[in-house]
Amino acid sequence: MPIDLRSLKKLDFSAAPAPVSGEWVVVLVKLCEGAERPDYIAARADIAPGLFSAEIPIDKLQQLEADPAVESVELSRRLPRIS
């Protein structure tokens, strides 16, 4: 079932292309202050305390949305190559 991204309140997808169901996406996850990283998501890179990137199946976005430890999620986007 396709996900309606606009229904996810914690997700900022304004700068990213619309992902397709079953696709893997790179996200930036900001945790609430003092919260532990959810065990169902593996960090790709730690950016700062409580802020990390991860590559997840798009279907996990709803799980992140429902997680009280997660303050916000942003879909990453590829930057154009600089020549």
Exposed (0-12), middle (13-18) or buried (19+): which is 46, by Cβ within 10 Å? exposed
Q: Which domain holds residue 27?
A: 23-75
Would you say residue 53 lies in a domain?
Answer: yes
Mode of pairing for the β-strands spanning 70-75 and 11-12: parallel
Q: Could you give the number of structural domains in the chain?
A: 1
Exposed (0-12), middle (13-18) or buried (19+): which is 11, by Cβ within 10 Å? buried
Q: What is the pTM of this model?
A: 0.71
At 44 the pLDDT is 93
Written as one string, the DSSP assignment of 4-44 is -GGG-TTEE-TTSPPP-TT-EEEEEEEEPTTPPPPTTS--S
Would you say residue 6 lies in a domain?
Answer: no
At 22 the pLDDT is 76
Would you say residue 51 lies in a domain?
Answer: yes
Would you say residue 8 lies in a domain?
Answer: no
Q: How do residues 32-80 score in pLDDT, each as one tens digit? A: 999 999 999 999 999 999 999 999 998 888 899 899 999 999 887 666 7
Q: How do residues 1-27 score in pLDDT, each as one tens digit? A: 455 656 666 666 555 556 666 788 889
At 77 the pLDDT is 67
Would you say residue 33 lies in a domain?
Answer: yes
